[in-house]
Amino acid sequence: MRISFSDKEGTRIVEIISQAVTELGLDAYLVGGFLRDALIKRDCKDIDILVMDRAQTLAQYLHTNKGFYPPILFKSFGTFRTYYEGWEIEIVPPRAKTLKEDLLLRDFTINTLTARLGGEYGGGPTIEAEDCLGTALKDLDKKIVRTPIDPEKSIADDPIRALRAVRFSCSLNFTIDEGLFNAIKGASGLLKDAAVERIRDELVRAILLTPPSRCLKLMHDLGLLGSIAPELLPAVGHEQKSPYHYQDVFDHCLSVMDACEPELILRLSALFHDIGKAESEAVVDGRYVYYGHQKVSSEKARSFLDRLRFSKEVRDSVMKLVENHMVCYTEDWKDSTVKRFMRKMGPLWDRLMLLLKADASSLRPEVHSHLKNFEELLRRAEFIRINEVQSLTSPLNGIEIQELLGITPGPLVGEIKEKIVSAIMDGHIPNTKEAAREWVKSAFLQKWQRGGGGQGPLAAKPP
């Protein structure tokens, strides 16, 4: 069977790998997703290579002789990962003595197509592929996700396959085989022992799907969500007793996530932005309120992101966006207030605006004044030079403030610098050293002297 490729870049990389296989005299095969996606006319940026012997030799050779990224070893499976021009290449050793036996141990039948590399491989826009198990083409035609062997044994062999089955089903719009569906339902306990990095990577891929909500809902229906993201469970089915919402907390967060572009920090922020409402609900004067839910949501995000070992940048960015999503903007805001808020968010300003727009669009249509408020805030912000606001610094440095006030280094110095910046943004003083000195003397030094000296409390109000 010959498969035609529309991705010239991908076929060129495969040709480079095949040439390396020939030069090394290896027995190697192109397997899995690259062939599958070419057959169903779907974009793919991953290439999987099965090397029947000396997988490490090929991985290192591609790096030293072909310019591929230095290979990363995953000891648990003995696999190597490298990159080339934005493509991810997995080089794996066999798990069985023969090719057919190895294919039986792969995750799903739709990933068992193979094409031999090196030797007679001709390259170009078509390739000779083989369905060794006789199941790949049938299941691709039926649009079904199932395992080559007993599904319970397959899931027990690698519990991450439960998450992968959900992701493949949603991304390809395929149905999960009944036997596999039932096996996944009993896999939640197995996931507790899986590597958190692999769980994280699968979740990231799911969150970046379009739309992501279908995948997360299916994970919940199959009992997987509680094992990998227990922070989300209290929100499932928790009704929002609010005139603005028509969905429970979980479904609302998923709707906001669907409305966001596929960018990881933004979608994670959408997923967690209201998740703390279930634990923040209270009744005040006969009305349901959710005071401080953004802080509870932020801490839940921290727990989730730390446990799955997301980077500090991702964690801190998501937490800041979640903490600041409750923007009660009104037309009474002064320009200085808008500037100060923009400065506070810094490089996350654009993401916050996208999050607010997605949040507002997921409310009841009859209360879309929230969306109008957001659009007005955005219009006003466009007239403010964002870079100027975010890069604005105190004209007095820390040493100059210490010498002026006779204080020692410490947090107070930083607070005073921020007060100076606020005075400049509010238009109380120009952005000059002399104006800043006089303002500090008036706002701090004279007050402290009248009070007996020392590093008294901050009483910095515009004179």
Mind giving me the DSSP string for 19-71?
HHHHHHT--EEEETHHHHHHHTT----EEEEEESS-HHHHHHHHHHHH-PPPP
Q: Which residue has the higher pLDDT, 383 or 39?
A: 39
Q: CA quadruple 218, 238, 205, 197: dihedral positive or negative?
A: negative
Closest CA to 273 of 286, 247, 288, 254: 254
**Cβ-based neighbour number of residue 411 at 10 Å:** 7
pLDDT at 231: 96
Statement: residue 457 has pLDDT above 60: no
Nearest by Cα to 132 from 41, 5, 30: 30
Which whole number is the average pLDDT over 451-456?
46
Range 134-149 average pLDDT: 96
Two tokens at 354? 């996208």
- Average pLDDT estimate for 9-30: 92
Highest average pLDDT, of 273-277, 361-365, 405-409, comes from 273-277
Q: Which pLDDT value is given to residue 100?
A: 95
Asked if 162 and 184 touch (Cβ cutoff 8 Å), the reply is yes
User: Among the ranges 200-209, 388-397, 435-444, which has the highest mean pLDDT value?
Assistant: 200-209
Residue, of 339 and 230, whose pLDDT is higher:
230
Taking residues 315-332, what's their average pLDDT? Answer: 89
Nearest-Å Rg of the Cα atoms of the chain is: 29
Three-class secondary structure of residue 2 per DSSP = strand
In sequence order, which residues have a C-beta less than 8 Å from that of residue 306 and are 6 or more positions away? 315
Contact 106, 112 (CB under 8 A): yes
- Which residue bears the tokens 């109000």? 461
Least confidently predicted of 20-29, 36-45, 149-158: 36-45
CA distance 201 to 264: 11
Angle, vertex CA 381, rays to CA 378 and CA 384, nearest 5: 160
Where do the domains of the chain lie, and which CATH numbers do they carry?
2-142 (3.30.460.10), 143-228 (1.10.110.30), 236-392 (1.10.3210), 394-450 (1.10.246)
Which amino acid, 164?
A: R
Q: Dihedral sign, CA of 16, 18, 22, 26? A: positive
Taking the C-alpha atoms of residue 39 and residue 45, their distance in angstroms, rounded to an integer, is 14
Cβ contact 282:289 at 8 Å: yes
pLDDT of 395 higher than 90? no
Give the number of residues written for the chain.
463
Q: Residue 128: its pLDDT value, please?
A: 80
Given this model, what pLDDT does residue 26 score? Answer: 94
Query: Whose CA is closest to 241, among 281, 291, 272?
Result: 281
Helix (H) / strand (E) element for 200: namely helix 196-207
Least confident stretch, 104-108, 265-269, 417-421: 417-421
Residue 24 CB neighbour total at 10 angstroms: 16
- Regarding predicted confidence, which is higher, 116 or 365? 116
Q: Which residue type is seen at 13?
A: I
User: Which pLDDT value is given to residue 463?
Assistant: 36
Residue 410, pLDDT score: 85
pLDDT tens by residue, 420-447: 888 887 778 888 888 888 888 888 766 5
Q: What Å distances lie between residue 106 and 32, 154, 156, 158, 180, CA to CA?
A: 9, 8, 13, 10, 14
| Model confidence pLDDT, tens digit, residues 180-194 | 999 999 888 899 889
- The sign one gets for the Cα dihedral 343, 349, 352, 354 is positive
Average pLDDT across the chain, whole number: 87
Facing residues of 283 across strands? 288
pLDDT at 367 over 60: no
Provide the 3-class DSSP secondary structure of residue 84.
strand
- The string of DSSP letters for 242-303 reads STT--S-HHHHHHHHHHTS-S-HHHHHHHHHTTTTHHHH-EEETTEEE-TTHHHHHHHHHHH
Q: Identify the H or E element spanning 4.
A: strand 2-4
Half-sphere exposure of 21 (CA within 13 A, CB side): 27
Q: How many other CB atoms are there within 10 angstroms of residue 396's CB atom? A: 20
Proportion of the chain above pLDDT 70, given as a percent: 89
* pLDDT-based confidence at residue 48 (cuts at 50, 70, 90): very high
Provide mean pLDDT across the span 363-373: 64
